[in-house]
Amino acid sequence: MSALKRCVTILGVTGSIGRSTVAVIEEVRARGGEIEVEAITAGGNLAALVEAARVLRPKFVAVAEEGLLVDARAALPGIEVGAGEDAICEAAARPADWVMAAIVGAAGLAPCLRAVERGAMVALANKECLVCAGPLLIAAAARAGATLLPVDSEHNAIFQVLTHPDRVEKLTITASGGPFRTWPYERMRAATPQEACAHPIWSMGAKISVDSATLMNKGLELIEAHYLFNVPPARIDVLVHPQSIVHSLVHYQDGSVLAQLGAPDMRAPISYALAWPDRAVISTPRLDLAALGALTFETPDEARFPSLGLARAAAEIGPKATAALNAANEIAVAAFLAGRLGFTEIPSVARDVLDGLDAGELRQFQKKPSTFDEVRAIDKAARRAAEHAAMAMAGA
Ligand code: NAD
Ligand code: MG
């Protein structure tokens, strides 16, 4: 079999997914794969960015914080360096054939689009991109001949077993249940950022950790699956599976159910996307079902975790509502992490923003946004509304 050969760019190289991508690349290189690195980017963690550059030897390095440009240049002699949002987009636009989109939040949309528009293979970890502009991004990929490779473990699982897309009856996305799966609501009200970020299975960035604790992560994933696989929200179920071994299931019209299993380790879906359509040789922990003994499943408690219902409702309304939901959630999670908002108020902010849309707006919201500018306008308006809602709740 021929060795894996790629020219790659990693957007968000210093994050949890970014670091796992570096680990995969190092292992593939050690096994004889030829992975050239075109560009890497980060938000502001310069020390980690410099370390990644030392390992990967990229041609171009971009940091979002403009004030870090001078220090970044000094720390990276012989490498082209840029700073600011445009530099992040420039990194995505450079000619890598595979781009890992692992920036967190809607901030990742513009660079992801740049990679899509030049027809790259885009490994998509940044789910907020799809939640705020799914139909537009997918149409742009079709126009440019780009391939979207889902990295989110659930969507990667579905992608792996989606043998007959026209014969799908429904999808089931599994959820670990997060750190508060068994907590009574009263205890959740007092949850701290530290408790919310202590995920029982996965070690991830702060934003997605909080999303996993509210189950908004599963709500965003439902929307992500709806757009990626063109399955209506009503035919996408969420199932709590605390062991996180079955990563998702596809139910076919003949009653067969195909699932993908594996140890919970993001290097698995990342390496799948990197080697696609082949498979890589990677030393992730192997599954030992006898040692596990039992896999358990339960229905999510939507009363304690209202984010799921909110995401489903937004998905039913349409792409503008999912963009507004995403923006509201980003603001609420940031306020919670900054100690300005209670844990159980996070979904309340998102609900306020969705409820605040008047009937005229709602009719508008049922139509698909036709441009990325429109998405940006919705994102901005929803952020403003969410700031107001969060402030009102904090003052109450
Ligand atoms: P993280 O917070 O650990 O890393 C985010 C990365 O984006 C960092 O490199 C950061 O410097 C960069 N960044 C942040 N803001 C930026 C900005 N404004 N401009 C440019 N760069 C910016 O997050 P993560 O856990 O690695 O998650 C990244 C994405 O992948 C998220 O969308 C998340 O939902 C998704 N995802 C993560 C996991 C996981 O296991 N961590 C699993 C599935 C999906
Ligand atoms: Mg996931």
Ligand showing the shortest atom-to-Cα distance for residue 218: 2
Answer yes or no: is pLDDT of 364 > 70: no
Ligand showing the shortest atom-to-Cα distance for residue 244: 2
| Contact between 46 and 26 (Cβ < 8 Å) | no
Q: Smallest Cα–Cα separation from 138: which of 3, 52, 251, 230?
A: 230
Q: How far away, in angstroms, is 395 Cα from ligand 2 center?
A: 34
Residue 131 sits at the vertex; the CA angle it makes with 304 and 261, to the nearest 5 degrees, is 70
Structure tokens at 112: 């992801």
Question: Where residue 396 falls among pLDDT bands split at 50, 70, 90?
Answer: low
> What pLDDT is recorded for position 363?
64
**Looking at residues 345-362, what average pLDDT do you find?**
86
| pTM, full prediction | 0.97
Question: Where residue 218 falls among pLDDT bands split at 50, 70, 90?
Answer: very high
C-alpha–C-alpha distance, residues 368 and 389, integer Å: 26
| Contact between 35 and 21 (Cβ < 8 Å) | no
Amino acid letter, 275: A
Ligand showing the shortest atom-to-Cα distance for residue 211: 1
C-alpha–C-alpha distance, residues 162 and 196, integer Å: 33
> What pLDDT is recorded for position 362?
64
Cis peptide bond upstream of 277, omega within 30: yes
Map out the domains of the chain with their CATH numbers: 5-150 (3.40.50.720), 152-263+286-303 (no CATH), 318-396 (1.10.1740.10)
CB burial class (10 A; 0-12, 13-18, 19+) of residue 310? Answer: buried
Residues with CB under 6 A from ligand 1: 12-18, 42-43, 45, 64, 88, 102-104, 107, 125-128, 152, 202, 204-205, 207-208, 266
Question: Where residue 369 falls among pLDDT bands split at 50, 70, 90?
Answer: confident
Q: What is the pLDDT of residues 34-62, one digit of tens each?
A: 999 999 999 999 999 999 999 999 999 99
What is the number of the ligand 1 atom nearest to the C-alpha of 13?
A: 9
206: how many CB neighbours lie within 10 A of its CB?
16
* Beta-sheet strand order (sheet of 257-261): 236-240, 168-175, 246-252, 257-261
**Looking at residues 134-158, what average pLDDT do you find?**
98
> What pLDDT is recorded for position 251?
99
Q: What is the pLDDT of residues 161-175, one digit of tens each?
A: 999 999 999 999 999
Question: Where residue 3 falls among pLDDT bands split at 50, 70, 90?
Answer: confident
Q: How far away, in angstroms, is 63 Cα from ligand 1 center?
A: 14
* Listed residues: CB within 5 A of ion ligand 2: 152-154
